[in-house]
Each structure stands twice: as structure tokens, then as C-alpha cells.
Homo-oligomer: A and B are copies of this chain.
């Protein structure tokens, strides 16, 4: 019976920024979903996820949730507040739709605002089943541009946000048989660069900015400016003896 079915909300990973790196499953959800919601850091401007939907499906309406990207727990509280407000407003549409979608850059489960959407759905007690369509993470898009062999044999990979305790980063840099990927860059980029050099790991280290867009830049650590945007990715490669 139609009245028995549960409404579904999909967290849809759109990949690192290039519309070509959207999956077939994500396309299928975008084509079918009755509602598409996208985050944006400014109310007036289209976020990258919305832009990708717009490029692939120009006629689809996208509901924009403005999320201020302020840092710290205050920033998270403010973002959750904005998401709850939108979810509350959309409640009738979300619960009557068979399928709705929240789109996000990269993967919905890797440092994504989708976690706030899920939290809001739980807080507002919406009778909605949450599903996830995984996406290509930004670090693999950067790796595809700068290397032909990121991780092999018994090597390890560590993915860390630059916003965390620098002690962890310093510690992980000592593991020379590992790739270190750094996300969420911010004002501390100059310090990170110094730490990587200090650990003797700067060889082959790369920074990717605005991946998948026309403004994309892929730079060595030394070429990069002292200030880089939040949505930048660093890859510190394994130091291989034979390489």
C-alpha cells in the first residue's frame, strides 16, 4: 500500500567537484528524487554541489540551505540550527515524497554536512529512512592527477583534518611507509608546511585547490601560497626506496 511506504532521504556524494565524477547511482537518484537539497556557504551564491546538479540536470529545482562555515562548536551549532529550520519547513514535502536527496561534495560520510542533516531528521523525529550513495573523495581525485601509485603492498594511509591537534599530525608524519592526506586546510597552512618539511616529508608533497573546477590548481608545497582555502587537499606521499 502506498500509505505504508516510508519516505527515503538520500545523502548523495557527488564526488570531488568535476561533474564527470558523479556515479550512475547518484545520477539516478538526482533524476528520480522529488526534492533536491544542497548546502551553500552563502545564501546568495550557488554552492559547488548545487552547481554540479545544475550542470548535469539544468531543469531540476534545488533547495539551498545556507550554512555558515564558522569553525568550532559554535559554528557546528549554528549550522545544525540552519539545517533544522530548513528540515522543519520542508517537513510536509519530505514526508510525502517517496525520495528526496541531500547532495554533497565528495562522500556524504567523510566530513560532510550530511551528518547535520541526519541529526536534524532525528531531532525533528521525521518518519524518514536515511540512505547513502557513496562518492569519490577529493584526495583520490588529487592523487589521480599527481601520481600513478598512491598506495601499494603493506603501505598505510592516514586521513586527518588540519583543524585537529597538530601532535597527531606530527606523529603520523613519522610513519614514512604511509601516505598522509590532510583535509580542512585553514589559516594554519604555513605551519603545516613547516611541519612536513621538518619531518623530511616534503618530497613529492602536493596541494590541490578547487579540484574539478575551471579554477583548479595543483601545486607543490613550496609553490603554494601561504593562505589556501578550506576546501584544499594535501597529499604527502610514501617515501619509497626504489622511487
Please report A residues at the B interface, Cβ cutoff 8 Å.
11, 13, 15-16, 18-25, 27-28, 76, 107-111, 114-115, 118, 130-137, 140-141, 143-145, 147-161, 163-165, 168, 172, 175
Q: Are B136 and A134 in contact (CB under 8 A)?
A: yes
Q: Are B25 and A115 in contact (CB under 8 A)?
A: no
Q: Are B164 and A154 in contact (CB under 8 A)?
A: yes
Q: Are A20 and B15 in contact (CB under 8 A)?
A: no
Q: Are B159 and A157 in contact (CB under 8 A)?
A: yes
- Pick the 10 closest A-B CB pairs, nearest first: A20-B25, A154-B164, A109-B150, A132-B144, A134-B140, A157-B159, A115-B149, A118-B148, A134-B144, A156-B160
Q: Which residue of B lies closest to A159 (CB)?
A: B157
Q: Are A151 and B27 in contact (CB under 8 A)?
A: no
Q: Are A148 and B21 in contact (CB under 8 A)?
A: no
Interchain nearest-CB distance for A125 vs B (Å): 16
Q: Are B154 and A163 in contact (CB under 8 A)?
A: yes
Copies assembled = 2
Which of B13, B25, B136, B158 interacts with A18 by CB under 8 Å?
B25
Interchain nearest-CB distance for A132 vs B (Å): 4
Q: Are A143 and B148 in contact (CB under 8 A)?
A: no
Q: Are A144 and B109 in contact (CB under 8 A)?
A: yes
Interchain nearest-CB distance for A171 vs B (Å): 9
Q: Are B157 and A118 in contact (CB under 8 A)?
A: no
Chain B residues with Cβ below 8 Å from A118 are 148-149
Which of B134, B151, B153 interacts with A21 by CB under 8 Å?
B134
Q: Are A158 and B161 in contact (CB under 8 A)?
A: no
CA distance A154 to B73 in the complex (A): 11
Jot down 12 A-B pairs with beta carbons below 8 A, ordered by A.
A11-B148, A13-B140, A21-B25, A111-B151, A115-B148, A132-B143, A132-B145, A135-B140, A153-B163, A155-B161, A156-B160, A168-B175
